[in-house]
Every structure is written in C-alpha cells, then in structure tokens.
Structure 1
Amino acid sequence: MNFIIFDLEATCWEGSPPSKVQEVIEIGAVLMNGYGEVEAEFSRMVRPILNPRLSAYCQELTNIKQTEVDRASIFPVVVESFQDWGLMLDEDYILCSWGGMDKAVLQDCQLHDIEDEWVDAHINIKHQYMELKRMRRPKGLRASVEAEGFDFTGPQHRALADAQNLAKIFLKYLDMWQF
C-alpha cells in the first residue's frame, strides 16, 4: 500500500467572488510506502483555463507567478503525469490531504471530462487529526505541524512544501489513521 500525501493550490480571489470557479494551479505530493519511507516527490504547475489570469491576491498568497502558470500544461496533462508518478494504475494507494482537497480535483476532472474514480481512495487527515487530538476547532497545517514539535519548512501555500509538512504529521501517526 502506498500513501500519496498531496496538496493543491487553486485560483483564488479576495473575498471569494461567487461567480468565480476555482481551478487547480499546482499539485505537490509525497509518495510514502507502507513503512513510512518517502519514495518520491511530485511538483507541477497547472495552467487554468476558465480564469487564466491569476488575481493579485492569489499571486501574493501562493507566491506563484503568472509566468509559471502560463508555461504550465493544462490539468488533464498534469493529472495524467500525477497518476503515472504515483503508480495509481498499478498499485494500491490512498490519497491523503489536509482537508477536502479531493473536491477541487473532482471539480477539475468534471471540467475537463476526465474519469474521477481514482480520487475515491482518499482520507482527510485534518478531520482525523482533529478527532485524534480531540480538538473542537481545526488548526491550520502550519500550527498543527508546529504543535507536533516539527519545524514548518518551505513556503506556506506552496503545494510541495505543504505536502512535505503534512507528511511529518502523517508519519508520526502512521498506525493510527483510519483508511
């Protein structure tokens, strides 16, 4: 069994205008085997098609430059590369994210008319972490990483760095997650 600990960044606007549809703009992931060993990492930008211009708010929050997404491939190409990288077609896996990131992937799969059953094997680490720690209110990823005694490394709101930091919490409680 492989664990694919992943994070996404998506288009965003200050105040989240209801007329805007979020699209994935970055996928970052850590592939961990059943023994908790990191086997590989994945990091790719994605070019949005509905709103190809990143808002100033989005660029400031994520530190993702417009030129980075302009040069990127569109979602179907990147998600196929992500699936190949994670060996999702050949081996058992579970996708692990901090929150409901699977919804963003499902939305982009629907937008691009891509089969989405591969997202079904997913657990929300944030939800399980709250139960494990008996928390009434959720903490952010950074606060949770630091509460566990780890340093938060890399830039916040960048997909690979967030996935690497989530992997620290995931590994600490590897035997306690419910799959």
Structure 2
Amino acid sequence: MKFIVYDIEATCWEGRPPATVQETIEIGAYQVDSYGQVGPCFSRLIKPILHPQLSHFCRRLTHIEQPDINRAKDFTRVIRDFQNWIDVDGEPYTLAAWGKFDEAQLRRDCALHRLDDYWLDPSINLKLQYRELRKLPKKRGLAAAVRHEGFEWTGAQHRALDDAENTVKVFRKLLDMWRY
C-alpha cells in the first residue's frame, strides 16, 4: 500500500468570481510508503480552458505566472500523466489531501473534461482527521498544523508541490493514526 499525498491549486479571484467554475491549474504530489518513506514526486501546471487568463489575485496568491500557464498542458493530458505516475508499479494506493477541496475540485475537473473519476478512490481528508486525532475544537489550516507538529514550513504557500511536501511532514508523523 502506498499513499499519494497531494495538493492542487485552482483558478481564483478576489471578491466575486466572474464564474462559479474553478479549474485546477497545478498539481503536486509525493508518494509515501506504508513505512513512511517518501518516494518520488509529481509536479505539473495545467492550462485552464474556461478562464485561461489567471486573475491578478490568483497570480499574486500562487506565484504562478501567465507565461508558465500558457505553456502548460491541458487537464486531460496532465491527469493521465498523474494517473500513470500513481500506478507505475500497480501497487494499491490511497490519495490523501489536506481538506476536501482538492478531491472535490479534481472530480469537478474530471466531469468538465468528461473523464472518469474512479481513480480518486479511496481518498482521505487529512484536515478532518487531524482535527479528530488532536481533539481540536475546529479544523486547523495546514500551516498551523505544520507549526503545531513542530515543523518549519518549507517552500511557498499556495504552490502545490510545496504544500504537498509540508502535508507529508504531518502525514508521516501521524502515519499509524490515519483511517483509510
């Protein structure tokens, strides 16, 4: 059994968005085995089709520049690459993300692009489980959880691979406690 600890970034706007449809623009992930050993990573930008121009707010938040998005592959190609990366050895896997947004957004993108989303199962919501494990009165954001567990944040917030790397820190510390 291996775990795919991942994070996504999506199109975003300040205030009221021009549409309620967000699209994934970046995915970052690490493979973690059942002993907590961190394996290879996956990182790709994705070119959105509904709103190909990133908002100023989104560029500022994610530090993803428009020329990089313009050169990116579309969702269908990147997700096929991601699925192949996950399943390269045929070993069973469980996807793990901080919160419910990432899985829900990937399911919306699969629907938008008329792709099956079976590969998103099984998935675990680490944010929800973290709250339960640590008996917290409310959910805790990733940066706060990283600090609470005694780790330093590495990289930039709101970059998928950096967020996934920081999620891995918390994930590994509580490896034997997650329910999946």
TM range (shorter): over 0.9
1:164 maps to 2:165: yes
1:72 maps to 2:72: yes
Partner of 1:90: 90
Distance in 2 of aligned mates of 1:147 and 1:28: 23
* TM-score, normalised with respect to structure 1: 0.97
Kindly state the Cα deviation for residue 17 of structure 1 after the two structures are TM-superposed: 2.3
Distance in 1 of aligned mates of 2:127 and 2:146: 11
Paired letter, 1:126 = K
State how many pairs are aligned: 179
Paired letter, 2:17 = P
Partner of 1:5, secondary structure, is strand
Distance in 2 of aligned mates of 1:17 and 1:56: 12
Deviates more, 1:3-12 or 1:84-93: 84-93
Partner of 2:27: 27
In structure 2, relative to structure 1, the CA distance for the partners of 1:138 and 1:65 (3 Å cut) is: same
Partner of 1:59, secondary structure, is helix
Kindly state the Cα deviation for residue 9 of structure 1 after the two structures are TM-superposed: 0.1
Partner of 2:63: 63
Kindly state the Cα deviation for residue 166 of structure 1 after the two structures are TM-superposed: 0.2
Distance in 1 of aligned mates of 2:88 and 2:138: 33
Distance in 2 of aligned mates of 1:15 and 1:92: 41
1:99-128 CA distance string (max 9 Å, x none): 111000000000000011111210000000
1:6 maps to 2:6: yes
1:11-69 CA distance string (max 9 Å, x none): 00012427231000000001011111111001000000000000000000000001111
Conservation of the 8 A alpha-carbon contact between 1:7 and 1:163: yes
Deviates more, 1:103-112 or 1:18-27: 18-27
Kindly state the Cα deviation for residue 141 of structure 1 after the two structures are TM-superposed: 0.6
Distance in 2 of aligned mates of 1:143 and 1:96: 18
Partner of 2:124: 123
Partner of 2:177, secondary structure, is coil
1:57-96 CA distance string (max 9 Å, x none): 0000000001111100000100010011111782200000
Question: Structure 1: which 5+ runs fail to align?
Answer: none
Partner of 2:109: 108
Distance in 1 of aligned mates of 2:109 and 2:121: 15
Deviates more, 1:80-89 or 1:127-136: 80-89
Partner of 2:59, secondary structure, is helix
How much is the aligned-residue C-alpha RMSD, in angstroms? 1.2
Aligned residues with identical type, % of pairs:
49
Partner of 1:175, secondary structure, is helix
Partner of 2:17: 17
Conservation of the 8 A alpha-carbon contact between 1:83 and 1:89: no
